Amino acid sequence: MKLEIPFTWAERHPILLDRFFYLPGHYDHREKIFPFFADAKPIIIEYCSGNGQWIGEKAKQNQQVNWIAVEKKFERARQIWLKGEREQILNLSVACGEGFLFTRYYAPLAVEIYINFPDPWPKRRHAKHRLIRASFLQELLRIVRPGGKATCVTDHPSYAQEIGAEFAKCPEWKFLFNINEWPDYGRSFFNDLWIGKGKAIHYLSYERI
């Protein structure tokens, strides 16, 4: 199995291959609809998918739903795609690119959103790189209809507080809970890593109203 982007950097543009959506950087994006799936099943989107362990298992366990893994780093996104190909997870697509741009210009309507272990960018000068900001949450409102859920997971206590503060800026997101245990949430590389180091995991959940 081989995954190649069929053009040079100079020729770059968004393209949907076989369940792999490539979203190039440094490109003048325009809103466009892509057929991520051939059927009309509800869609769940995971951001910061890493190596795809969490979403791969969820997609296999929940065939009645389509899943999109959003991962910025190409090699990680490629790894998720390869997992889907090897295991024939036909209800899983991958979006390789920056999460904010994907949401603003290309993301389809979704019934649920999961953001698993986003980079906390702990240094103040790097704060602008954090995904979960009010501007991103406003973009999510475009694709999540009332009643839809958004769940964020982090091991970083100060980032958990900031996530709560950013959601509070968007009254359309209703706070549901902030808990430290969710036994059947699912495993991922970072979940196992931080639990193994004795860190508490923060699960924050919101409803679109």
- Where in the sequence numbering do the catalytic residues fall? 119
Cβ atoms of 109 and 145 within 8 Å: the answer is yes
At 177, which amino acid appears? Answer: F
The angle, 0 to 180 degrees and rounded to 10, between the axes of the packed helices 53-61 and 74-86 is 30
Cβ atoms of 59 and 90 within 8 Å: the answer is no
Lookup: tokens for 147: 């009643």
What does the alpha-carbon distance between residue 70 and residue 52 come to, in Å, rounded to a whole number? 10
Lookup: tokens for 125: 């000068």
What does the alpha-carbon distance between residue 173 and residue 138 come to, in Å, rounded to a whole number? 9
Cβ atoms of 71 and 48 within 8 Å: the answer is yes
Instruction: List beta partners, residue 113.
Output: 45, 150
What does the alpha-carbon distance between residue 159 and residue 166 come to, in Å, rounded to a whole number? 10
Q: What is the CA radius of gyration of the chain?
A: 17
Cβ atoms of 16 and 32 within 8 Å: the answer is no
